[in-house]
Amino acid sequence: MLVLGIDPGTAICGYGLVEMRGNHLKAIHYGAVITSPKSKPQDRLLKIHTEIDTLIKEYQPDIMGVEQLFFNRNITTAIPVGQARGAVLLTAAANNLEVVERTPLQVKQAVVGYGKATKEQVIYMVEKLLNLPKKPHPDDVADALAVAICTTHCVNNIVWRNKL
Told to judge if 7 belongs to the known catalytic residues of this protein, a careful annotator would answer: yes
Catalytic residue among 19, 51, 98, 140: 140
Catalytic residue among 51, 53, 62, 67: 67
Told to judge if 139 belongs to the known catalytic residues of this protein, a careful annotator would answer: no
For the chain, give the secondary structure using H, E and C. CEEEEEECCCCEEEEEEEEEECCEEEEEEEEEEECCCCCCHHHHHHHHHHHHHHHHHHHCCCEEEEECCCCCCCHHHHHHHHHHHHHHHHHHHHCCCCEEEECHHHHHHHHCCCCCCCHHHHHHHHHHHCCCCCCCCCHHHHHHHHHHHHHHHHHCCHHHHHHC
Told to judge if 98 belongs to the known catalytic residues of this protein, a careful annotator would answer: no
Catalytic residue among 7, 19, 51, 143: 7
Which residues are catalytic, by number? 7, 67, 140
